[in-house]
Each structure stands twice: as C-alpha cells, then as structure tokens.
Amino acid sequence: MKKYFSIPLFLLLVFMSSAALLAQARTCANCGKTITKDFLEYNGQPYCSQKCFEAALPKCSVCGKSVGEGTKQGEYLKVNGKIFCSDKCFERSLPKCAACGKPAKKQIRSADDVSKVYCSQECYQTSLPKCELCQNPLNSWKEMSGHIYCNQCADLPKCLDCRLPGASIELPDGRHICQACEKEAVISRDQAQKLFEKVRADIKQQLNLSTDHRITFKLVDARELGRITGVTVFSEQGLYSHKWKTYQTAKTKVPDSDTFVIYILSHLTPKYFYNIAAHELAHDIHDAYFPYAKGRELEEGFAEYVSSLMNACWGNDSLNLEKLQNQEKIYAQGYQRFLKIAEKNGLTDVLAYMEKQNKASKPKTIKKKTK
C-alpha cells in the first residue's frame, strides 16, 4: 500500500535588534554555522539556507533528490521503508513484468519460478504451459509421454500408435489414429509381408534365433483379431497360432500337420509393427526350442524380452519403456522377470533359464519292464 506523507514547512521571519539577535543566536542543524538572520525550521531544527534545509529533507530512493524537489513539492511516498519523491520514481523502482516489460504494480508471481513477476492476470496467463491440443493456458494438466493436456483433451480418443489423445481419424473397426501416424501406418499387405520377413531375418542375424516353420502372415483389423483371440477388442495387437491335427481315434498328433500363423493389426507405424512382429516370432522360437516351458507370464515375458533386444537393435528403445508401463500386468511382470534374469549375461542367461524350465516340465518317459 502506498502512503503519502507531507512535510510542514515553517519559514520563520525574525526581525530583531542586533543585541536580541545575538542573544537568541541559533546554529544551523546542517552546516553548523551561527544563524544571525532569518532561518528555516524543520522538525524543530533550524537551517540557515534553502540548501541546508533541502539537505535535511528525506531523499528519494530512486533519483536521490530531496522530496521537496519532487512533483508534489513536500509530499512523498513511503513503501516498504523506502521513500519516493513521485509516482514516476515509485514505478521505476518496481520489477518489470516478465511478459510485457511494464512496471509490475500487482506483482503476481509464478508458482514455478518466483523470480518472475507479472503485472496482471492476463500477463501471468502467458507464463502457464498450454494444452498441446486446444492451446488453453493450464493451471493443472495431465502429462502423457512428455506431452501435456487439459483434462478435457486428455479424455479424447487416443491414437492406436503414439497413444496420445486427439486422434481425429476413426477406422472402420472403431480404432482411432492421428494424422501424423496415419501417414506412415502399415496398411498394405505387401508392405506388411516385407516388413515381417525383415523382422524374422533380423532376429536370426542379430540373436542367432530362428525356426524352419512355414509361417503364414496375416494383416488384420481389430474386429478380425478380436474374433480370433476371443478377447476384448484392441487389447491385443498380434497373435501367434500353432495348430495341428490329431487322429480321430486318439489324441496323438498327426505328423507334418502343423500350421503356423501370425496375425498383426493393420495401421501400425513401422516401429510398432517391428515390435509386435518380433514379439510374435519370439513365441514361435519359444514353441520350437522350449515347448514344455509353459505359463503365461513366462511365455509373454520371454517374448517381450526378445522383442526388446530387437527394439534396441532398431533404435526403438523408447518402446521398451512402454513395456514396463504396460497396463496388461502379465506382460509388464513377465518382462521385468526376464530383465532380472538377464542382468549379468543377457540373452545367454535367458536361454539357459528357459532350457532349465523346459527340462523341468518335460514329461518323463515310462520305460516298459522286460520279462
């Protein structure tokens, strides 16, 4: 709050005889000279001249002039113990608004950076982060993968690839995709087949893991994949299927009747397609190398670990962080399990662990007794 103070000025004109003047001689409170003539008085103290009188007045903390020289001639402002000779000097003392540069009279401070001051609510609003979709200033927000959104925009349909809200394109199967991801999404079967074959070749080359299975690859939408898996639509992005025929009179497997099929959702961007393809091909490797090592956490954990190694080879390490944050707990827990197994020797220890699990679960052969 600004307060104005006034200084009472008393100009005492003294007309005395020389004898009386000497009897009542005064000493200037500023220069110490004996006052033999008229004098000025301030706060009960005499001053011999205008110069000495102004020297005694309070000084403006901005311009240094005495308050008697200010725009109000004898009035001054006192704010937080500091004196100002005019409104202009007072405003010059104020911090500058971080947005417009004008004196910040209201001095609204940012909660994130108290060193920044704003002169109005409008200027303060410019300091707030903005929603990436509606661009409105945010006092509170939701953060997703390093992006911030207002609560309303955060609830908009999320892109099936980047997982960010605001996906404006709705596919026939009910999924949504943003315009940026849609431009590079894998839609054609021919493109998908080439990418699938590349993933299989890369796994063989980088990890020395492969099978001779004749795998049929199919690119499907979410409705078709949901029909095949029998699970909630969109919860799965791929599926590995290994089927075989059995004799009608027994449960014995018919030799060479195996069929292998891998299904992957359409409209994935290449890096997500690679990740899902590597995951499903890891199931095929698991099926061939460790057929008796069962358990969903074991199976999904192994597939997530193998695909994470390939993501690192392809420069898609960010997808491995998503594996740890997977809302399907069985995937996240399985992946964490294999990361712990791989702490010392990586894939070598993982394969040794899988072999141990496979051996422990393998049915024992019953030997017939001979007579």
**111 pLDDT band (50/70/90 cuts)?**
low
pLDDT at 310 over 50: yes
Residue 133: name the closest of 183, 167, 163, 162 by CA.
167
Q: What is the pLDDT of residues 183-223, one digit of tens each?
A: 999 999 999 999 999 999 999 999 999 999 999 999 999 99
Average pLDDT for 120-135: 82
pLDDT of residue 68: 65
340: Cβ contacts below 8 Å, ≥ 6 apart: none
Q: What is the pLDDT of residues 65-78, one digit of tens each?
A: 777 654 444 567 78
Q: Which of 14-18, 50-54, 143-147, 242-246 has the lowest mean pLDDT?
A: 14-18
**128 pLDDT band (50/70/90 cuts)?**
confident
**101 conformational bin, left if phi > 0, alpha if psi -120 to 50, beta if neither:** left
Q: What percent of the chain has pLDDT over 90?
A: 48
**269 pLDDT band (50/70/90 cuts)?**
very high
The CA R_g of the chain, rounded to the nearest whole Å, is 42
**289 conformational bin, left if phi > 0, alpha if psi -120 to 50, beta if neither:** alpha
Give the bridge partners for 177, in sequence order.
169
Q: What is the pLDDT of residues 38-48, one digit of tens each?
A: 888 877 888 88
pLDDT of residue 358: 96
Enter the tokens of residue 120.
Answer: 């109005």
Helices (H), 315-346: 318-324, 329-341
Degrees (nearest 5) of the Cα angle 362, 367, 371? Answer: 175
Please give the Cα distance from 66 to 55 (Å, whole number). Answer: 7
How many alpha carbons lie under 13 Å from residue 62 in its C-beta half-sphere?
18
Enter the tokens of residue 8.
Answer: 């009472």
Q: What percent of the chain has pLDDT over 70?
A: 87
Q: Which residue is it, tokens 């199976």?
A: 299
Reported pTM = 0.67
- Where is 91: in which H helix or E strand? helix 87-93
Phi and psi at residue 266, to the nearest 5°: -75, 170
Please give the Cα distance from 124 to 126 (Å, whole number). Answer: 5
Residue 322: name the closest of 335, 310, 313, 339 by CA.
335
* Count of positions (residues) in the chain: 371
Mean pLDDT in the chain?
A: 85
**233 pLDDT band (50/70/90 cuts)?**
low
Rounded to 10 deg, the angle between the 329-341 and 347-361 helix axes is 110
Please give the Cα distance from 248 to 253 (Å, whole number). Answer: 10
Give the bridge partners for 158, in sequence order.
165
Residue 215: name the closest of 155, 265, 263, 255 by CA.
263
